[in-house]
Amino acid sequence: MLQPQAIALQGPEFSPLVMGYWRLMEWGMSPQERVAFIEHHLNLGITTVDHADIYGDYQCEAAFGEALKLAPGLRDRLQIVTKCGIATRARPENRIGHYITDKAHILQSAENSLRHFHTDRLDLLLIHRPDPLMAADDVADAFMALHQAGKVLHFGVSNFTPAQFSLLQSRLPFSLVTNQLEISPVQQSALLDGSLDQCQQLRIRPMAWSCLGGGRLFNDPHFQPLRDELEAVRQETGATSLDQVVYAWILMLPSRPLPIIGSGKAARVSEVAGSLELTLTRQQWFRIRKAALGFDVP
Ligand SMILES: NC(=O)c1ccc[n+]([C@@H]2O[C@H](COP(=O)([O-])OP(=O)(O)OC[C@H]3O[C@@H](n4cnc5c(N)ncnc54)[C@H](OP(=O)(O)O)[C@@H]3O)[C@@H](O)[C@H]2O)c1
């Protein structure tokens, strides 16, 4: 059973693996099946869930909330993370997809999320993507209002550069607790562009999205050399799947990311939990990095 861990000095305690609900509407689960799926990962100790207002064309939060309403005891066993700051064409009034980080939108989106989840508080609210029109003072005003009202307990960002992170942080009286970033063998930019260094420096833990490249790692012919290397490491370590090796690779990063699981299959979710037991050697780690990049690394 996984144990909760602090993700920042003044931050919340989250499970070391997070369940991501971006693809919930694709899973075709009935409300009762959603309850069973949530109970399944809670029983493994995966208590933190990741959402966004826009997921499933703005439907995922409410579908998840339907399950919470069916089994009201679940809410207090979960930490709910959600995001705002993107407007998609799934809403007819948005004639173009765009970013939106003004105060009124953030406040409204948070209220919508609270209503969808049938809860009085969000554990963590993130700005989903950097917005070229983001006025840091405006975002900070919104965050402080939500914090003072007790509606959102912690705040963070996603896909922010270190400079964008520092700008927003400079306007806040409390610490941002995470930067949610794409991290996987097939997307390694954050490893050396300063993003993870900043997390380490500030002692905040990143959340890692699309750890399996959104599934591409398994089905893209381009990644066959990577799969071959993962299989070799799997055999050397006794891991039970390639997924486990990938998650162990991410968990070795010294910024201590919290991987977000994207699978809607209970058996695969259980499998991922086993990756916390797995340790790779430095050479195994670099073999995977090299196989994914396709060239030798200094
Ligand atoms: N902040 C952001 O900008 C951002 C962006 C994207 C995602 N996210 C978050 O990150 C979470 C995870 O992202 P993701 O869904 O892209 O994660 P992922 O784990 O990289 O990809 C999940 C996909 O891989 C498939 N998969 C898993 N194991 C597999 C295997 N062994 N063989 C073949 N296919 C396999 C899954 O299919 P099955 O369901 O069939 O297992 C699913 O379609 C999301 O739910 C969301 O919460 C955040």
Instruction: Round to whole Å and give the CA distance between 159 and 182.
Output: 7
Is residue 156 assigned to a domain?
A: yes
User: Does ligand 1 lie within 6 Å of residue 223's CB atom?
Assistant: no
Residue nearest (by alpha carbon) to ligand 1 atom 47: 20
User: Does ligand 1 lie within 6 Å of residue 212's CB atom?
Assistant: yes
Instruction: Round to whole Å and give the CA distance between 186 and 214.
Output: 10
Residue 170 C-alpha to ligand 1 middle, in angstroms? 33
Is residue 202 assigned to a domain?
A: yes
**How high is the pLDDT of residue 3?**
95
Among 209, 219, 230, say which to mutate for ligand 1: greatest number of ligand atoms within 8 Å of CB: 209
Residue type, 38: I
Instruction: Round to whole Å and give the CA distance between 279 and 95.
Output: 48
Is residue 159 assigned to a domain?
A: yes
Residue 91 in contact with residue 100, Cβ under 8 Å? no
Is residue 262 assigned to a domain?
A: yes
Q: How many domains does the chain have?
A: 1
Is residue 227 assigned to a domain?
A: no
The pLDDT tens digits for 186-196 are 999 999 999 99
Instruction: Round to whole Å and give the CA distance between 267 and 115.
Output: 31
Question: What is the number of helices (H) and of strands (E) in the chain?
Answer: 13, 12
Is residue 290 assigned to a domain?
A: no
**How high is the pLDDT of residue 65?**
98
User: Does ligand 1 lie within 6 Å of residue 56's CB atom?
Assistant: no
**How high is the pLDDT of residue 298?**
62
**How high is the pLDDT of residue 295?**
81
Of these residues, 21, 55, 99, 247, which one is catalytic? 55
Residue 262 C-alpha to ligand 1 middle, in angstroms? 3
Is residue 101 assigned to a domain?
A: yes
Residue 97 in contact with residue 86, Cβ under 8 Å? yes
Q: In ligand 1, which atom is closest to the CA atom of 264?
A: 39
Domain hosting 210: range is 5-218+257-276
Is residue 55 part of the annotated active site? The answer reads yes
Q: Which residues of the chain have pLDDT under 70?
A: 298
Kindly report the CATH number assigned to the domain that includes residue 71.
Answer: 3.20.20.100
